[in-house]
């Protein structure tokens, strides 16, 4: 139930922002989701559509999910490569001593609000 937990926090963060900025209605929420963040986007959207109805300020907000590519760094040859394509083994030198540089984030990029 990873998605539900994230949605709960997302809703709370947005409600706090709405209160601070005196926003009555949010119409769109753009999220940047890392390719390997572990978020299943269909499920995430389902959770959002269920949950937004409980919050007046969010109920008409569409979710726009933008994928951020995942990049892995090889500790052996110090090159970077696309994570989803090659996984944990470096395509240049075959080393398994590799680390994810980015691609597991989930960031609220921007929101669209009614004037």
Partner 1 sequence: MKIIELKETVTASNDRDAAVLRAELKEKGTLLVNLMASPGAGKTTLLERTIRDLKDEMNIAVMEADVDSDVDAVRIEKIGAKAVQAHTDGMCHMDAGMTRRALEGLGDEQFDLVVLENVGNLICPAEFDTGAGRCVMLLSVPEGDDKPLKYPLMFKVSDVLIITKTDVAPYFDFDFDACVARAKKLNPDITIFKVSAKTGDGFEEWESWLKSAVKNWKN
What residue ranges bind partner 1 (CB under 8 A)? 1-2, 4-6, 9-10, 12-13, 16-17, 21, 23, 27, 31, 38, 75, 88, 96-100, 104-115
Q: How far is the CB of 111 from partner 1 (least distance, A)?
A: 5
Q: How far is the CB of 53 from partner 1 (least distance, A)?
A: 19
User: What's the angle, vertex CA 104, arms to CA 98 and CA 110, rounded to 5?
Assistant: 145
Nearer to partner 1 by C-beta: 22 or 42?
A: 22
Q: H or E element: which one contains 86? A: helix 83-86
Nearer to partner 1 by C-beta: 92 or 101?
A: 101
Q: How far is the CB of 92 from partner 1 (least distance, A)?
A: 17
Q: Tokens standing for 79? A: 């090159």
Q: H or E element: which one contains 7? A: helix 2-20
Nearer to partner 1 by C-beta: 56 or 75?
A: 75
Burial class (CB within 10 angstroms; exposed 0-12, middle 13-18, buried 19+) of 4: middle
């Amino acid at each position: 139930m990873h998605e539900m937990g994230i949605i709960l926090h997302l809703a709370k963060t947005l409600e706090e922002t709405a209160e601070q900025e005196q926003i009555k209605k949010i119409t769109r929420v753009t999220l940047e989701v890392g390719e390997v963040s572990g978020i299943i986007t269909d499920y995430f959207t389902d959770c959002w559509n269920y949950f937004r109805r409980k919050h007046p300020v969010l109920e008409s907000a569409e979710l726009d999910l933008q994928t951020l590519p995942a990049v892995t760094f090889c500790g052996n040859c110090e090159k970077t490569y696309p994570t989803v394509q090659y996984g944990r083994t470096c395509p240049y030198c075959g080393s398994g001593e590799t680390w994810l540089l980015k691609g597991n984030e989930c960031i609220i990029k921007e929101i669209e609000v009614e004037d």
